[in-house]
Chain A
Amino acid sequence: MKEVVKTGGKLAVICAVAAIALGVVNAVTEPKIAAARAARLEEALSELSVGLNIGQYVESDNQNGINGYYPLSDAGNVDAYIVDVTGAGYAGDLGLLTTISLEGEVLAAALMEDSETPGLGKEAENASYMKMYIGTGKDSVIPSSKSHLNPADADAITGASITFVGIGKALNEAADFVGQIGGM
């Protein structure tokens, strides 16, 4: 019994010291991490606003991955929405912000959070990756299958098809959502 308490006590001491060390490092890094995330969100919203005024964030009921939205207006009229949507990626959730016009057209999109494979699915973080979705949704389908892409784009997503499909489906959900809350 004494041996068990001694052994457990020593392990508890190691855990306690580790917890204190982590607490100290967290106290130092947490404000910087929070500030960097806020700056990244602000920068992304600025790019996604497509020159319109950004309204207050409205939380959604979280159905179909829709977390909430920002209305985008010009002279008091809502012209588009930035939709905060979560899709399913290869290695976890894909946190996306996408600007959808009232006609359901994808005007802009950015991948904000993901755990995709570096060099493959993670390439979706690059602004150039989203070009294959932008402009779709009004007169053409938002691509969520390789068959919707031209051969060059289909070749570019080789090795990361699950990420591509996950983003495509999330953007389709966002476009449907905009149709429900005030789109045409």
Chain B
Amino acid sequence: MLKEFTKGLIKENPVFIIVLGLCPALGVSTKVINSLGMGAGVIFVLLGSNIFVSLLKDFIPDKVRIPAYIVIIASFVTIVEMVMEAFIPALYDSLGVFVPLIVVNCIILGRAEAFANKNTIKASILDALGMGIGFTLALILIALIREVFGLGTITLFPIGSFSGVIEIPGLVDSPVRVFGLAAGALLVMGFLKALFTWIEDIRRVK
């Protein structure tokens, strides 16, 4: 049962191996804090949609399963959007258009269709957590590289007297701006995809 959780971290990582959810992955990964926020939103929506799809798998008619999944997913995303705007407005402002775009994140509909509607609630919860955390870790890794080189900073949540921004000496004054742009996102994604594919090939040979 534990493999349902661990498979999403590396072996079936949604971003680097299954190559799902790339639009938000590349769009929000300009700063680490955006990746953490988007990751948290996706984990919540994925968890909610997987639980409800698994729970209602015998109730939802096969012919209308996709519209039913979309209603469930869109409802969870709207709840995330409203709660985020009410209680974490800074993060809501920072993530902008990408929060409502969670609705069309392929990972969520993909896991509902490929896993949750065929498996138990327990397995679906583990799958959602594994895939959600795998997606979040992938976003953090891409954002860390892009923000460090593209802006010369690492932006986290402010805590007490800590502003939340760690400046990297040498890079903060003369960053490599291309890493912050769309081209940099594709370059970083490409190299990381190659790295993960190589790691998977080695594991398979062993």
Interface residues, chain A, with chain B CB atoms under 8 Å away: 6-8, 10-11, 14-15, 18, 21-22, 25-26, 28-30, 32-33, 36, 40, 91-92, 114-120, 122, 125, 155, 158-159
CA distance A18 to B68 in the complex (A): 10
CA distance A15 to B74 in the complex (A): 11
Check B181 against A120 for contact (C-beta < 8 Å): yes
CB contact between B59 and one of A10, A30, A92 (< 8 Å): that residue = A10
Q: Given A29-B86, A119-B34, A159-B181, decide whether A114 and B59 contact each other with a Cβ distance below 8 A.
A: no
- Number of contacts between A and B (CB, 8 Å)? 91
**Stretch binding the partner chain, chosen from B95-103, B161-169, B191-199:** B95-103
CA distance A159 to B31 in the complex (A): 15
CA distance A113 to B56 in the complex (A): 39
Cβ-based interface call for B109 (8 A): no
Q: Given A7-B64, A159-B177, decide whether A117 and B96 contact each other with a Cβ distance below 8 A.
A: yes
Please indicate the chain B residues that have their CB under 8 angstroms from the CB of A117 in the complex. 27, 30, 96
| Chain B contact residues: helix, strand, loop or mixed | helix
Check A118 against B60 for contact (C-beta < 8 Å): no
Check B71 against A22 for contact (C-beta < 8 Å): no
Check B83 against A114 for contact (C-beta < 8 Å): no
Cβ-based interface call for B171 (8 A): no
Check A159 against B89 for contact (C-beta < 8 Å): no
